[in-house]
């Protein structure tokens, strides 16, 4: 009986540690907001060209676990992206998520209105390679939207 109890306790602890580990691998909404604000501070100090290059560096300071910064302009053009360089220079106006939602239009609207906010959609997670629910925080600065999302 003691062996069964010891095994059960050990199994429960292992499952708990795995759940904690998985949660630690994902960014939080607070961390996403802070990362976007860090990118804006970098932009104000180093300018557009250096910021776009650093944001697009997959191993740079603006990539953290499953979070990465991306920057779009008020017309919907992707200026920098920390996870997918193929999106840089692309017009996002008609970009849809896995369910067909034109989520990029919501991001562009926030940028144009010079308002911060959150947008929900489904997107491939660069860590798991799976389509997952995501919410992205966008904060505008000088006609650009600095965005960071977290997977739910």
Residues in the chain: 152
Task: At 88, list the tokens.
Answer: 């840089």
Per-residue pLDDT, 98: 93
Domain assignment present for residue 13? The answer is: no
Domain assignment present for residue 91? The answer is: yes
Domain assignment present for residue 21? The answer is: no
State mean pLDDT over 97-116: 97
The CATH number of the domain holding residue 81 is 3.30.450.20
Domain assignment present for residue 4? The answer is: no
Domain assignment present for residue 16? The answer is: no
Domain assignment present for residue 41? The answer is: yes
Closest CA to 93 of 69, 119, 73, 120: 73
Share above pLDDT 90 across residues of the chain, in percent, rounded to a whole number: 77
Task: At 80, list the tokens.
Answer: 């920098």
Give per-residue pLDDT as tens, 21-30.
455 689 999 9
Give per-residue pLDDT as tens, 49-62.
999 999 999 999 99
Per-residue pLDDT, 6: 39
Using the predicted structure, report yes or no on whether residue 109 has a pLDDT greater than 90: yes
Domain assignment present for residue 1? The answer is: no
* Euclidean distance between CA atoms 112 and 66, whole angstroms: 27
Using the predicted structure, report yes or no on whether residue 122 has a pLDDT greater than 60: yes
Centre a 10 Å sphere on the Cβ of residue 47 and count the other Cβ atoms it contains. Answer: 10
Instruction: State the residue range of the domain holding 132.
Output: 28-151
Domain count, the chain: 1
Domain assignment present for residue 9? The answer is: no
Per-residue pLDDT, 9: 40
């Amino acid at each position: 009986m003691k062996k069964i109890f010891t095994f059960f306790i050990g199994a429960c602890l292992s499952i708990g540690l795995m759940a904690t580990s998985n949660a630690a691998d994902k960014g939080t909404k607070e961390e996403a907001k802070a990362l976007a604000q860090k990118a804006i501070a970098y932009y104000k100090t180093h300018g557009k060209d250096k910021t776009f290059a650093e944001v697009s560096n997959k191993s740079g300071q603006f990539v953290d676990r499953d979070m990465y910064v991306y920057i779009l302009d008020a017309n919907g053009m992707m200026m920098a992206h920390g996870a997918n360089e193929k999106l840089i220079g692309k017009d996002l106006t008609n970009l849809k998520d896995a369910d067909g939602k034109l989520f990029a239009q919501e991001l562009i609207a926030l940028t144009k209105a010079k308002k911060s906010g959150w947008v929900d959609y489904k997107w491939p997670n660069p860590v798991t390679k799976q389509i997952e629910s995501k919410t992205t925080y966008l904060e505008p600065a000088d006609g650009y939207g600095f965005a960071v999302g977290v997977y739910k």
